[in-house]
Amino acid sequence: MSGNMAVQLPYMFTERMNHLLGDQFESFMQSYEQSPHAGLRVNTLKISMEQFKEIAPFDLRPIPWCETGFYVPHGVKPGLHPYYHAGLYYIQEPSAMAPVEQLQVQPGDRVLDLCAAPGGKSTQIAAKLQGKGVLVTNDIHAERTKALAKNIELYGVRNAVVLNESPERIAEAFPHYFNKVLIDAPCSGEGMFRKDEDMVKSWEHHSVEKCVLMQRDILETAARLLAPGGTIVYSTCTFAPEENEAMIAAFLKQNRDFTVTTIADTAGFAPGRPDWVREMLPAQAEETEEVLEQTRGTARLWPHLLEGEGHYVAVLQHIEVAQSDSDSKLSENVIDESALLNESSEDRSFLRSASYPLTKADRKKERLLRVESREGSDRGTRSGKPSGKAGRKAKEAGGRKSERGHTRATDSGNVDPLAVYSQFVKENLDMPLQGETVCYGDRVYQSAVGASRLEGLKVVRPGWFVGAIKNGRFVPSHPLACALRTSEARRSVNLSSADGEAVRYLKGETLNIEQERIMLHGETLSKGYVLVCIDGYAAGWGKWLDGVLKNEYPAGWRWTSR
Protein backbone atom coordinates (compact mmCIF):
# COMPACT_ATOMS: atom_id res chain seq x y z
CA MET A 1 0.00 0.00 0.00
CA SER A 2 1.00 3.62 -0.20
CA GLY A 3 2.23 4.05 3.40
CA ASN A 4 1.56 7.43 4.96
CA MET A 5 0.62 9.07 1.70
CA ALA A 6 -2.49 11.14 1.24
CA VAL A 7 -3.60 8.97 -1.69
CA GLN A 8 -4.20 5.25 -1.18
CA LEU A 9 -2.75 3.72 -4.32
CA PRO A 10 -3.85 0.26 -5.52
CA TYR A 11 -1.31 -2.41 -4.65
CA MET A 12 -1.23 -3.84 -8.18
CA PHE A 13 -0.38 -0.39 -9.49
CA THR A 14 2.49 0.31 -7.09
CA GLU A 15 3.91 -3.18 -7.64
CA ARG A 16 3.99 -2.67 -11.38
CA MET A 17 5.44 0.84 -11.11
CA ASN A 18 8.10 -0.38 -8.70
CA HIS A 19 9.09 -3.06 -11.16
CA LEU A 20 9.18 -0.66 -14.12
CA LEU A 21 10.68 2.42 -12.54
CA GLY A 22 13.43 0.75 -10.52
CA ASP A 23 15.56 3.39 -8.83
CA GLN A 24 13.12 6.15 -9.83
CA PHE A 25 10.28 4.47 -7.96
CA GLU A 26 11.00 6.19 -4.68
CA SER A 27 10.85 9.70 -6.07
CA PHE A 28 7.74 8.71 -8.09
CA MET A 29 6.06 7.66 -4.86
CA GLN A 30 7.20 10.80 -3.07
CA SER A 31 5.37 12.89 -5.67
CA TYR A 32 2.10 11.54 -4.22
CA GLU A 33 2.86 13.31 -0.95
CA GLN A 34 2.67 16.67 -2.69
CA SER A 35 -0.47 18.51 -3.72
CA PRO A 36 -1.47 18.28 -7.37
CA HIS A 37 -0.47 21.15 -9.65
CA ALA A 38 -3.16 23.46 -10.93
CA GLY A 39 -2.91 25.41 -14.13
CA LEU A 40 -4.74 27.85 -16.32
CA ARG A 41 -4.45 28.45 -20.01
CA VAL A 42 -5.04 31.88 -21.48
CA ASN A 43 -7.80 31.94 -24.10
CA THR A 44 -6.06 33.82 -26.88
CA LEU A 45 -9.30 33.84 -28.86
CA LYS A 46 -10.42 36.57 -26.47
CA ILE A 47 -7.29 38.15 -25.07
CA SER A 48 -3.66 38.39 -26.15
CA MET A 49 -0.89 37.12 -23.90
CA GLU A 50 0.40 40.66 -23.41
CA GLN A 51 -3.01 41.95 -22.37
CA PHE A 52 -3.53 39.02 -20.03
CA LYS A 53 -0.19 39.51 -18.33
CA GLU A 54 -1.17 43.14 -17.71
CA ILE A 55 -4.49 42.37 -16.06
CA ALA A 56 -3.82 38.93 -14.55
CA PRO A 57 -5.23 38.83 -11.03
CA PHE A 58 -2.88 36.04 -9.86
CA ASP A 59 0.85 35.42 -9.74
CA LEU A 60 1.66 33.53 -12.90
CA ARG A 61 4.51 31.13 -13.41
CA PRO A 62 4.87 29.82 -16.98
CA ILE A 63 4.33 26.16 -17.79
CA PRO A 64 7.44 25.26 -19.85
CA TRP A 65 5.65 23.16 -22.52
CA CYS A 66 2.70 25.46 -23.22
CA GLU A 67 3.30 29.08 -24.09
CA THR A 68 -0.21 30.11 -23.02
CA GLY A 69 -0.19 28.06 -19.81
CA PHE A 70 0.59 29.14 -16.25
CA TYR A 71 0.71 27.44 -12.87
CA VAL A 72 -1.91 28.65 -10.46
CA PRO A 73 -0.52 29.16 -6.94
CA HIS A 74 -1.92 26.76 -4.33
CA GLY A 75 -4.97 28.19 -2.61
CA VAL A 76 -5.94 30.48 -5.50
CA LYS A 77 -9.34 29.72 -7.02
CA PRO A 78 -9.28 31.03 -10.59
CA GLY A 79 -12.88 29.84 -11.12
CA LEU A 80 -14.03 32.52 -8.69
CA HIS A 81 -13.01 35.51 -10.73
CA PRO A 82 -15.12 37.45 -13.26
CA TYR A 83 -12.43 36.81 -15.88
CA TYR A 84 -13.24 33.12 -15.75
CA HIS A 85 -16.85 33.99 -16.64
CA ALA A 86 -15.62 36.21 -19.44
CA GLY A 87 -13.82 33.17 -20.87
CA LEU A 88 -10.35 34.68 -20.54
CA TYR A 89 -8.78 31.44 -19.33
CA TYR A 90 -9.49 27.74 -19.03
CA ILE A 91 -8.55 25.87 -15.87
CA GLN A 92 -6.50 22.87 -16.97
CA GLU A 93 -4.11 20.41 -15.42
CA PRO A 94 -0.63 21.43 -16.66
CA SER A 95 0.47 18.14 -18.24
CA ALA A 96 -2.89 17.96 -20.09
CA MET A 97 -1.75 21.03 -22.05
CA ALA A 98 1.04 19.05 -23.75
CA PRO A 99 -0.81 17.01 -26.44
CA VAL A 100 -2.33 19.96 -28.32
CA GLU A 101 1.03 21.73 -28.36
CA GLN A 102 2.40 18.68 -30.20
CA LEU A 103 -0.43 18.75 -32.76
CA GLN A 104 1.06 21.95 -34.24
CA VAL A 105 -2.34 23.39 -35.14
CA GLN A 106 -2.26 26.31 -37.58
CA PRO A 107 -5.06 28.73 -38.47
CA GLY A 108 -6.97 27.21 -41.40
CA ASP A 109 -6.48 23.58 -40.36
CA ARG A 110 -9.29 21.06 -40.26
CA VAL A 111 -9.02 19.57 -36.81
CA LEU A 112 -10.94 16.73 -35.18
CA ASP A 113 -10.94 16.22 -31.42
CA LEU A 114 -12.44 12.74 -31.15
CA CYS A 115 -12.70 12.27 -27.37
CA ALA A 116 -13.22 15.84 -26.36
CA ALA A 117 -15.46 16.35 -23.33
CA PRO A 118 -15.34 18.52 -21.30
CA GLY A 119 -13.34 20.44 -23.87
CA GLY A 120 -10.00 21.44 -22.32
CA LYS A 121 -8.04 20.40 -25.37
CA SER A 122 -10.73 21.55 -27.80
CA THR A 123 -10.63 25.09 -26.44
CA GLN A 124 -6.84 24.95 -26.73
CA ILE A 125 -7.14 23.87 -30.38
CA ALA A 126 -9.73 26.58 -31.05
CA ALA A 127 -7.37 29.24 -29.71
CA LYS A 128 -4.68 28.02 -32.09
CA LEU A 129 -7.08 28.08 -35.05
CA GLN A 130 -7.91 31.74 -34.31
CA GLY A 131 -11.32 31.31 -35.94
CA LYS A 132 -9.89 30.03 -39.22
CA GLY A 133 -10.48 26.47 -40.44
CA VAL A 134 -12.72 23.97 -38.70
CA LEU A 135 -12.82 22.23 -35.36
CA VAL A 136 -15.07 19.19 -35.13
CA THR A 137 -15.25 18.23 -31.50
CA ASN A 138 -16.88 15.01 -30.35
CA ASP A 139 -17.61 12.83 -27.39
CA ILE A 140 -19.45 9.53 -27.36
CA HIS A 141 -21.19 10.26 -24.04
CA ALA A 142 -24.21 12.49 -24.53
CA GLU A 143 -24.21 13.85 -21.00
CA ARG A 144 -20.59 14.92 -21.29
CA THR A 145 -21.21 16.80 -24.55
CA LYS A 146 -23.29 19.33 -22.59
CA ALA A 147 -20.19 20.55 -20.77
CA LEU A 148 -18.25 20.36 -24.03
CA ALA A 149 -20.73 22.58 -25.88
CA LYS A 150 -20.85 25.01 -22.97
CA ASN A 151 -17.08 25.36 -22.92
CA ILE A 152 -16.91 25.85 -26.69
CA GLU A 153 -19.45 28.64 -26.25
CA LEU A 154 -17.96 30.26 -23.16
CA TYR A 155 -14.56 30.45 -24.83
CA GLY A 156 -15.97 32.25 -27.85
CA VAL A 157 -15.32 29.58 -30.48
CA ARG A 158 -16.99 30.43 -33.78
CA ASN A 159 -15.78 27.65 -36.08
CA ALA A 160 -16.65 24.49 -34.15
CA VAL A 161 -19.15 21.71 -34.72
CA VAL A 162 -20.02 19.63 -31.65
CA LEU A 163 -20.96 15.99 -32.19
CA ASN A 164 -22.10 13.14 -29.98
CA GLU A 165 -21.03 10.22 -32.08
CA SER A 166 -18.95 7.09 -32.37
CA PRO A 167 -15.67 7.64 -34.24
CA GLU A 168 -16.87 5.02 -36.73
CA ARG A 169 -19.88 7.08 -37.79
CA ILE A 170 -17.82 10.24 -38.02
CA ALA A 171 -15.41 8.39 -40.33
CA GLU A 172 -18.31 7.54 -42.63
CA ALA A 173 -19.27 11.21 -42.88
CA PHE A 174 -15.76 12.69 -42.99
CA PRO A 175 -13.46 10.20 -44.76
CA HIS A 176 -9.89 11.56 -44.93
CA TYR A 177 -11.18 15.04 -44.19
CA PHE A 178 -9.00 16.26 -41.29
CA ASN A 179 -5.37 17.19 -41.47
CA LYS A 180 -5.03 17.07 -37.67
CA VAL A 181 -6.73 14.56 -35.35
CA LEU A 182 -6.45 14.48 -31.59
CA ILE A 183 -7.25 11.31 -29.66
CA ASP A 184 -7.20 12.10 -25.97
CA ALA A 185 -8.14 8.54 -25.28
CA PRO A 186 -10.37 7.17 -22.54
CA CYS A 187 -7.81 5.46 -20.33
CA SER A 188 -7.25 3.86 -16.94
CA GLY A 189 -6.35 7.31 -15.59
CA GLU A 190 -3.34 6.45 -13.44
CA GLY A 191 -2.05 10.00 -13.87
CA MET A 192 -5.18 11.29 -12.16
CA PHE A 193 -4.72 9.45 -8.86
CA ARG A 194 -3.21 12.42 -7.03
CA LYS A 195 -5.77 14.90 -8.32
CA ASP A 196 -8.91 12.84 -8.04
CA GLU A 197 -9.20 9.99 -5.56
CA ASP A 198 -12.27 8.68 -7.33
CA MET A 199 -9.95 7.68 -10.14
CA VAL A 200 -8.27 5.27 -7.74
CA LYS A 201 -11.65 3.73 -7.00
CA SER A 202 -12.62 3.39 -10.64
CA TRP A 203 -9.23 2.03 -11.68
CA GLU A 204 -10.36 -1.58 -11.29
CA HIS A 205 -13.56 -1.01 -13.26
CA HIS A 206 -11.78 0.86 -16.04
CA SER A 207 -9.32 -1.95 -16.32
CA VAL A 208 -6.33 -1.50 -18.56
CA GLU A 209 -7.60 -4.34 -20.79
CA LYS A 210 -10.96 -2.67 -21.39
CA CYS A 211 -9.28 0.61 -22.21
CA VAL A 212 -6.90 -1.05 -24.65
CA LEU A 213 -9.82 -2.38 -26.70
CA MET A 214 -11.46 1.06 -26.92
CA GLN A 215 -8.18 2.79 -27.74
CA ARG A 216 -7.35 0.35 -30.54
CA ASP A 217 -10.72 0.95 -32.23
CA ILE A 218 -10.46 4.71 -31.89
CA LEU A 219 -6.93 4.85 -33.31
CA GLU A 220 -7.81 2.64 -36.27
CA THR A 221 -10.79 4.80 -37.08
CA ALA A 222 -8.75 7.98 -36.75
CA ALA A 223 -6.51 6.80 -39.58
CA ARG A 224 -9.59 6.76 -41.84
CA LEU A 225 -10.48 10.29 -40.84
CA LEU A 226 -7.05 11.70 -41.58
CA ALA A 227 -6.17 13.45 -44.84
CA PRO A 228 -2.98 12.39 -46.65
CA GLY A 229 0.08 13.78 -44.93
CA GLY A 230 -1.90 14.60 -41.80
CA THR A 231 -1.00 14.22 -38.13
CA ILE A 232 -2.61 12.25 -35.32
CA VAL A 233 -1.73 13.03 -31.74
CA TYR A 234 -2.61 10.24 -29.33
CA SER A 235 -2.54 10.93 -25.62
CA THR A 236 -3.51 9.30 -22.34
CA CYS A 237 -3.23 10.29 -18.70
CA THR A 238 -2.03 6.86 -17.67
CA PHE A 239 1.32 5.13 -17.18
CA ALA A 240 0.40 1.59 -18.33
CA PRO A 241 2.61 0.54 -21.30
CA GLU A 242 -0.32 -1.44 -22.78
CA GLU A 243 -2.21 1.81 -23.34
CA ASN A 244 0.84 3.76 -24.46
CA GLU A 245 3.90 2.36 -26.27
CA ALA A 246 2.30 -1.04 -26.98
CA MET A 247 -0.78 0.68 -28.42
CA ILE A 248 1.32 2.88 -30.70
CA ALA A 249 3.51 -0.02 -31.83
CA ALA A 250 0.45 -2.10 -32.74
CA PHE A 251 -0.91 0.85 -34.71
CA LEU A 252 2.37 1.36 -36.57
CA LYS A 253 2.52 -2.31 -37.43
CA GLN A 254 -0.98 -2.17 -38.92
CA ASN A 255 -0.49 1.19 -40.61
CA ARG A 256 2.86 1.22 -42.34
CA ASP A 257 2.18 4.66 -43.86
CA PHE A 258 2.62 6.26 -40.42
CA THR A 259 5.74 7.09 -38.45
CA VAL A 260 6.34 8.54 -35.03
CA THR A 261 7.57 12.11 -34.99
CA THR A 262 10.00 12.38 -32.11
CA ILE A 263 8.94 14.75 -29.37
CA ALA A 264 11.81 16.94 -28.22
CA ASP A 265 12.93 16.01 -24.71
CA THR A 266 12.81 19.57 -23.44
CA ALA A 267 10.82 20.67 -20.40
CA GLY A 268 11.43 17.48 -18.46
CA PHE A 269 9.60 15.16 -20.89
CA ALA A 270 10.97 11.62 -20.72
CA PRO A 271 11.17 9.33 -23.75
CA GLY A 272 8.76 6.48 -24.43
CA ARG A 273 9.78 3.04 -23.13
CA PRO A 274 9.77 0.30 -25.81
CA ASP A 275 11.84 -1.76 -23.35
CA TRP A 276 8.84 -1.92 -21.03
CA VAL A 277 6.77 -3.51 -23.80
CA ARG A 278 9.52 -6.10 -24.29
CA GLU A 279 9.60 -6.74 -20.58
CA MET A 280 5.90 -6.80 -19.76
CA LEU A 281 4.34 -7.90 -23.02
CA PRO A 282 6.91 -10.09 -24.78
CA ALA A 283 4.49 -11.59 -27.31
CA GLN A 284 3.33 -8.17 -28.40
CA ALA A 285 6.89 -6.90 -28.50
CA GLU A 286 7.89 -9.74 -30.77
CA GLU A 287 4.99 -9.07 -33.08
CA THR A 288 5.76 -5.37 -33.38
CA GLU A 289 9.55 -5.46 -33.04
CA GLU A 290 10.25 -3.82 -36.41
CA VAL A 291 8.39 -0.64 -35.37
CA LEU A 292 8.58 -0.83 -31.60
CA GLU A 293 11.76 1.19 -31.25
CA GLN A 294 10.01 4.18 -32.82
CA THR A 295 7.98 4.56 -29.64
CA ARG A 296 11.08 5.87 -27.91
CA GLY A 297 10.22 9.12 -29.75
CA THR A 298 6.92 9.44 -27.86
CA ALA A 299 6.86 11.32 -24.57
CA ARG A 300 6.08 10.48 -20.98
CA LEU A 301 5.31 13.27 -18.55
CA TRP A 302 6.07 12.05 -15.03
CA PRO A 303 4.88 13.68 -11.81
CA HIS A 304 8.33 13.20 -10.25
CA LEU A 305 10.21 14.73 -13.19
CA LEU A 306 8.12 17.80 -13.91
CA GLU A 307 5.32 19.81 -12.35
CA GLY A 308 2.27 18.03 -13.68
CA GLU A 309 0.12 14.98 -12.95
CA GLY A 310 1.39 12.76 -15.75
CA HIS A 311 0.58 12.15 -19.41
CA TYR A 312 1.67 10.17 -22.41
CA VAL A 313 1.85 11.76 -25.87
CA ALA A 314 2.58 10.24 -29.30
CA VAL A 315 2.74 12.14 -32.58
CA LEU A 316 1.86 9.95 -35.57
CA GLN A 317 2.71 11.39 -38.94
CA HIS A 318 1.08 10.08 -42.08
CA ILE A 319 3.51 9.74 -44.95
CA GLU A 320 1.95 10.90 -48.15
CA VAL A 321 2.94 8.74 -51.08
CA ALA A 322 3.41 11.17 -53.96
CA GLN A 323 1.64 10.36 -57.24
CA SER A 324 0.50 6.96 -56.09
CA ASP A 325 -2.90 5.51 -56.82
CA SER A 326 -4.05 5.81 -53.27
CA ASP A 327 -2.96 9.42 -53.22
CA SER A 328 -5.00 10.39 -56.23
CA LYS A 329 -7.98 8.53 -54.82
CA LEU A 330 -7.74 10.59 -51.68
CA SER A 331 -7.52 13.88 -53.52
CA GLU A 332 -10.56 12.90 -55.51
CA ASN A 333 -12.26 12.43 -52.24
CA VAL A 334 -11.43 15.96 -51.16
CA ILE A 335 -12.72 17.34 -54.46
CA ASP A 336 -15.92 15.36 -54.10
CA GLU A 337 -16.40 17.01 -50.79
CA SER A 338 -16.75 20.50 -52.21
CA ALA A 339 -19.08 19.20 -54.89
CA LEU A 340 -21.12 17.73 -52.10
CA LEU A 341 -21.27 21.09 -50.40
CA ASN A 342 -22.73 22.72 -53.49
CA GLU A 343 -24.91 19.87 -54.60
CA SER A 344 -26.63 19.41 -51.31
CA SER A 345 -27.65 22.99 -50.77
CA GLU A 346 -31.29 22.05 -51.30
CA ASP A 347 -31.07 19.08 -48.99
CA ARG A 348 -33.41 19.26 -46.02
CA SER A 349 -32.76 15.89 -44.46
CA PHE A 350 -29.95 17.20 -42.28
CA LEU A 351 -32.39 18.29 -39.62
CA ARG A 352 -34.27 15.06 -39.45
CA SER A 353 -31.17 13.29 -38.34
CA ALA A 354 -30.15 15.60 -35.56
CA SER A 355 -30.91 14.31 -32.11
CA TYR A 356 -29.99 17.34 -30.06
CA PRO A 357 -30.64 20.18 -29.36
CA LEU A 358 -33.97 19.71 -31.14
CA THR A 359 -36.90 19.29 -28.83
CA LYS A 360 -40.03 17.42 -29.91
CA ALA A 361 -41.71 20.73 -30.63
CA ASP A 362 -38.71 21.82 -32.67
CA ARG A 363 -38.87 18.69 -34.72
CA LYS A 364 -42.47 19.39 -35.72
CA LYS A 365 -41.56 22.68 -37.25
CA GLU A 366 -38.06 21.81 -38.23
CA ARG A 367 -36.70 23.02 -41.49
CA LEU A 368 -33.35 23.79 -42.90
CA LEU A 369 -32.48 27.05 -44.45
CA ARG A 370 -29.06 27.76 -45.66
CA VAL A 371 -27.68 30.83 -47.26
CA GLU A 372 -24.32 31.71 -48.58
CA SER A 373 -21.90 33.58 -46.39
CA ARG A 374 -22.73 37.17 -45.89
CA GLU A 375 -20.94 39.96 -47.62
CA GLY A 376 -17.30 40.25 -46.63
CA SER A 377 -17.08 36.89 -44.93
CA ASP A 378 -13.79 35.06 -44.73
CA ARG A 379 -14.48 32.72 -47.60
CA GLY A 380 -11.10 31.08 -47.54
CA THR A 381 -12.03 29.32 -44.35
CA ARG A 382 -15.31 27.85 -45.47
CA SER A 383 -13.89 24.56 -46.44
CA GLY A 384 -11.05 24.42 -44.01
CA LYS A 385 -7.68 24.36 -45.72
CA PRO A 386 -7.79 27.08 -48.29
CA SER A 387 -5.36 25.35 -50.62
CA GLY A 388 -6.06 22.91 -53.42
CA LYS A 389 -8.91 22.45 -55.82
CA ALA A 390 -11.50 21.87 -53.16
CA GLY A 391 -10.59 25.12 -51.48
CA ARG A 392 -10.89 27.02 -54.74
CA LYS A 393 -14.24 25.50 -55.53
CA ALA A 394 -15.59 26.40 -52.14
CA LYS A 395 -14.29 29.91 -52.52
CA GLU A 396 -16.13 30.30 -55.78
CA ALA A 397 -19.31 28.99 -54.28
CA GLY A 398 -18.90 31.30 -51.32
CA GLY A 399 -18.49 34.23 -53.68
CA ARG A 400 -22.14 34.16 -54.56
CA LYS A 401 -24.29 36.20 -52.28
CA SER A 402 -27.63 34.85 -53.37
CA GLU A 403 -29.80 33.13 -50.88
CA ARG A 404 -30.31 29.42 -51.22
CA GLY A 405 -32.88 27.26 -49.62
CA HIS A 406 -36.42 28.18 -48.82
CA THR A 407 -37.48 30.85 -46.45
CA ARG A 408 -40.92 29.83 -45.48
CA ALA A 409 -42.83 31.36 -42.65
CA THR A 410 -42.31 30.02 -39.16
CA ASP A 411 -44.83 29.27 -36.46
CA SER A 412 -43.32 32.03 -34.41
CA GLY A 413 -44.85 35.07 -36.00
CA ASN A 414 -44.99 34.33 -39.72
CA VAL A 415 -41.67 35.91 -40.48
CA ASP A 416 -38.74 35.12 -42.68
CA PRO A 417 -36.11 34.13 -40.11
CA LEU A 418 -33.23 35.01 -42.38
CA ALA A 419 -34.56 38.47 -42.97
CA VAL A 420 -35.10 38.98 -39.24
CA TYR A 421 -31.59 37.71 -38.52
CA SER A 422 -30.10 39.92 -41.23
CA GLN A 423 -31.90 42.93 -39.83
CA PHE A 424 -30.55 42.20 -36.36
CA VAL A 425 -27.02 41.89 -37.66
CA LYS A 426 -27.33 45.18 -39.54
CA GLU A 427 -28.64 47.04 -36.52
CA ASN A 428 -26.50 45.50 -33.81
CA LEU A 429 -23.26 44.14 -35.18
CA ASP A 430 -20.38 45.34 -37.25
CA MET A 431 -18.66 42.20 -38.47
CA PRO A 432 -18.53 39.75 -41.35
CA LEU A 433 -20.19 36.40 -40.68
CA GLN A 434 -18.23 33.30 -41.57
CA GLY A 435 -19.60 30.09 -43.04
CA GLU A 436 -23.15 29.13 -43.83
CA THR A 437 -26.22 30.29 -41.98
CA VAL A 438 -28.15 27.23 -40.85
CA CYS A 439 -31.52 27.22 -39.14
CA TYR A 440 -32.53 24.37 -36.85
CA GLY A 441 -36.13 24.92 -35.86
CA ASP A 442 -36.05 28.46 -34.56
CA ARG A 443 -32.34 28.40 -33.77
CA VAL A 444 -29.85 30.07 -36.06
CA TYR A 445 -26.21 28.96 -36.46
CA GLN A 446 -23.20 29.99 -38.48
CA SER A 447 -21.62 26.74 -39.58
CA ALA A 448 -18.05 26.13 -40.71
CA VAL A 449 -18.89 22.70 -42.16
CA GLY A 450 -21.24 21.98 -45.04
CA ALA A 451 -24.55 20.91 -43.55
CA SER A 452 -24.76 17.83 -45.74
CA ARG A 453 -21.68 16.46 -44.00
CA LEU A 454 -23.62 16.24 -40.79
CA GLU A 455 -26.48 14.29 -42.23
CA GLY A 456 -27.29 11.25 -40.14
CA LEU A 457 -25.03 12.28 -37.28
CA LYS A 458 -26.00 13.21 -33.75
CA VAL A 459 -25.30 16.90 -33.83
CA VAL A 460 -25.05 18.83 -30.58
CA ARG A 461 -24.13 22.11 -32.30
CA PRO A 462 -23.93 22.38 -36.09
CA GLY A 463 -21.97 25.59 -35.69
CA TRP A 464 -21.81 28.82 -33.74
CA PHE A 465 -25.24 29.29 -32.13
CA VAL A 466 -26.00 32.95 -32.80
CA GLY A 467 -29.62 33.27 -31.73
CA ALA A 468 -33.23 32.21 -32.09
CA ILE A 469 -36.39 33.55 -33.66
CA LYS A 470 -38.93 34.22 -30.93
CA ASN A 471 -42.27 35.91 -31.55
CA GLY A 472 -41.08 37.13 -34.90
CA ARG A 473 -37.89 38.70 -33.54
CA PHE A 474 -34.30 37.60 -33.53
CA VAL A 475 -33.06 37.08 -29.97
CA PRO A 476 -29.26 37.01 -29.90
CA SER A 477 -27.74 34.08 -28.02
CA HIS A 478 -25.30 34.12 -25.16
CA PRO A 479 -22.67 32.28 -27.27
CA LEU A 480 -22.92 35.08 -29.84
CA ALA A 481 -22.02 37.62 -27.15
CA CYS A 482 -19.22 35.45 -25.72
CA ALA A 483 -17.41 35.36 -29.06
CA LEU A 484 -17.72 39.07 -29.91
CA ARG A 485 -15.10 41.76 -29.55
CA THR A 486 -16.24 45.17 -28.33
CA SER A 487 -15.62 46.67 -31.75
CA GLU A 488 -17.99 44.16 -33.34
CA ALA A 489 -21.04 45.30 -31.38
CA ARG A 490 -22.82 48.57 -32.17
CA ARG A 491 -23.48 49.12 -28.45
CA SER A 492 -21.32 48.05 -25.53
CA VAL A 493 -20.86 48.87 -21.89
CA ASN A 494 -17.83 48.19 -19.79
CA LEU A 495 -18.11 46.94 -16.21
CA SER A 496 -15.15 46.89 -13.91
CA SER A 497 -14.15 43.67 -12.19
CA ALA A 498 -12.76 45.79 -9.35
CA ASP A 499 -15.92 47.47 -8.06
CA GLY A 500 -18.34 44.57 -7.88
CA GLU A 501 -20.50 45.71 -10.81
CA ALA A 502 -19.25 42.83 -12.96
CA VAL A 503 -20.19 40.26 -10.33
CA ARG A 504 -23.64 41.83 -9.94
CA TYR A 505 -24.12 41.45 -13.69
CA LEU A 506 -22.92 37.83 -13.58
CA LYS A 507 -25.40 37.15 -10.77
CA GLY A 508 -28.23 38.28 -13.04
CA GLU A 509 -29.00 41.65 -11.42
CA THR A 510 -30.47 44.60 -13.29
CA LEU A 511 -28.01 47.52 -13.34
CA ASN A 512 -28.52 51.26 -13.50
CA ILE A 513 -26.28 52.56 -16.28
CA GLU A 514 -26.26 56.19 -17.41
CA GLN A 515 -26.58 56.81 -21.12
CA GLU A 516 -23.02 58.23 -21.34
CA ARG A 517 -21.64 54.82 -20.43
CA ILE A 518 -23.17 53.11 -23.46
CA MET A 519 -20.43 53.13 -26.08
CA LEU A 520 -21.77 53.47 -29.58
CA HIS A 521 -20.06 52.13 -32.64
CA GLY A 522 -21.37 53.71 -35.85
CA GLU A 523 -24.72 55.43 -36.30
CA THR A 524 -27.05 53.97 -33.71
CA LEU A 525 -29.20 54.75 -30.71
CA SER A 526 -28.30 53.77 -27.15
CA LYS A 527 -31.52 51.85 -26.75
CA GLY A 528 -31.35 48.11 -27.50
CA TYR A 529 -29.02 45.15 -27.13
CA VAL A 530 -25.75 46.09 -25.48
CA LEU A 531 -22.68 43.87 -25.34
CA VAL A 532 -21.72 43.76 -21.67
CA CYS A 533 -17.96 43.62 -21.17
CA ILE A 534 -15.84 43.03 -18.11
CA ASP A 535 -12.70 45.16 -18.21
CA GLY A 536 -13.14 45.26 -21.99
CA TYR A 537 -13.92 41.55 -22.63
CA ALA A 538 -17.37 40.36 -23.71
CA ALA A 539 -19.35 38.49 -21.06
CA GLY A 540 -22.97 38.60 -22.27
CA TRP A 541 -25.91 40.73 -23.37
CA GLY A 542 -27.94 43.38 -21.65
CA LYS A 543 -30.86 45.41 -22.97
CA TRP A 544 -30.61 49.10 -22.28
CA LEU A 545 -33.49 51.55 -22.00
CA ASP A 546 -33.70 54.88 -20.12
CA GLY A 547 -30.82 54.31 -17.72
CA VAL A 548 -31.65 50.70 -16.93
CA LEU A 549 -29.70 47.68 -18.21
CA LYS A 550 -31.94 44.64 -18.25
CA ASN A 551 -29.83 41.59 -17.57
CA GLU A 552 -29.74 38.98 -20.34
CA TYR A 553 -27.11 36.75 -18.70
CA PRO A 554 -28.58 33.21 -18.93
CA ALA A 555 -29.81 31.67 -15.70
CA GLY A 556 -27.85 28.44 -16.12
CA TRP A 557 -24.56 30.33 -16.44
CA ARG A 558 -24.90 32.67 -13.46
CA TRP A 559 -22.39 33.36 -10.73
CA THR A 560 -23.64 31.46 -7.71
CA SER A 561 -20.67 31.36 -5.37
CA ARG A 562 -21.06 34.49 -3.24
Ligand X SMILES: C[S@@+](CC[C@H](N)C(=O)[O-])C[C@H]1O[C@@H](n2cnc3c(N)ncnc32)[C@H](O)[C@@H]1O
- Residue 96 or residue 451: which is nearer to ligand X going by CB? 96
- Residue 132 or residue 311: which is nearer to ligand X going by CB? 311
**By the rule CB under 6 A, 115 interacts with ligand X:** yes
Based on the number of CB atoms within 10 Å of its own CB, is 196 exposed (0-12), middle (13-18) or buried (19 or more)?
A: middle
DSSP lists the bridge partners of residue 544 as: 528, 549
Closest distance to ligand X from the beta carbon of 460 (Å): 13
- Residue 385 or residue 458: which is nearer to ligand X going by CB? 458
Residue 201 counted as an annotated binding residue:
no
**By the rule CB under 6 A, 111 interacts with ligand X:** no
Cis? peptide before 479, omega within 30° of 0: no
Nearest alpha carbon to residue 299 among 324, 273, 280: 273
On the CB side of 107, how many CA atoms lie within 13 Å of its CA?
A: 10
**By the rule CB under 6 A, 140 interacts with ligand X:** yes
- CA dist 97 to 192, 310, 534, Å? 14, 11, 26
Nearest alpha carbon to residue 64 among 306, 239, 305: 306
One DSSP character per residue, 361-430 reads HHHHT----EEPPPTT--GGGTTSS--HHHHHHHHHHHH---B-S-----TTTS--HHHHHHHHHHHHB-
**By the rule CB under 6 A, 462 interacts with ligand X:** no
- Residue 59 or residue 209: which is nearer to ligand X going by CB? 209
Work out which of 5, 76, 214, 305 binds ligand X, going by CB under 6 A. 214
Strands 110-113 and 134-138: parallel
- Residue 114 or residue 149: which is nearer to ligand X going by CB? 114
Residue 270 counted as an annotated binding residue:
no
Q: What is the biggest distance separating any 2 CA atoms in the chain, rounded to whole angstroms? A: 78
Closest distance to ligand X from the beta carbon of 153 (Å): 15
Residue 536 counted as an annotated binding residue:
no
**By the rule CB under 6 A, 139 interacts with ligand X:** yes
Residue 119 counted as an annotated binding residue:
yes
Nearest alpha carbon to residue 135 among 176, 164, 163: 163
Work out which of 19, 77, 141, 406 binds ligand X, going by CB under 6 A. 141
Closest distance to ligand X from the beta carbon of 68 (Å): 15
Residue 184 counted as an annotated binding residue:
yes
- Within 289-328, which residues bind ligand X (CB under 6 A)? none
Work out which of 78, 87, 119, 386 binds ligand X, going by CB under 6 A. 119
**Catalytic one of 66, 211, 237, 533:** 237
User: What single letter denotes the amino acid at residue 487?
Assistant: S
Nearest alpha carbon to residue 552 among 540, 538, 535: 540
- Catalytic site includes residue 237: yes
Question: Are 327 and 320 in contact, with CB atoms under 8 Å apart?
Answer: yes
Work out which of 118, 271, 536, 554 binds ligand X, going by CB under 6 A. 118
Work out which of 17, 66, 218, 493 binds ligand X, going by CB under 6 A. 218
Residue 229 counted as an annotated binding residue:
no
- Within 144-203, which residues bind ligand X (CB under 6 A)? 144, 166-167, 184, 186
Work out which of 37, 41, 121, 382 binds ligand X, going by CB under 6 A. 121
Closest distance to ligand X from the beta carbon of 93 (Å): 9
Per-position b or e across 56-66, b if 16+ CB within 10 A of its CB:
bebebeebebb
**By the rule CB under 6 A, 114 interacts with ligand X:** yes
Residue 139 counted as an annotated binding residue:
yes
Residue 118 counted as an annotated binding residue:
yes
Based on the number of CB atoms within 10 Å of its own CB, is 448 exposed (0-12), middle (13-18) or buried (19 or more)?
A: buried
Based on the number of CB atoms within 10 Å of its own CB, is 412 exposed (0-12), middle (13-18) or buried (19 or more)?
A: middle
- Residue 211 or residue 277: which is nearer to ligand X going by CB? 211
Give the H/E segment covering residue 91: strand 89-91
Question: Are 463 and 470 in contact, with CB atoms under 8 Å apart?
Answer: no
Residue 115 counted as an annotated binding residue:
yes
Binding-site residues for S-adenosyl-L-methionine, please?
115-121, 139, 184
Question: Residues in the site for ligand X, rule: CB under 6 A?
Answer: 96, 114-121, 139-141, 144, 166-167, 184, 186, 214, 218
Annotated binding site: 115-121, 139, 184
Catalytic site positions: 237
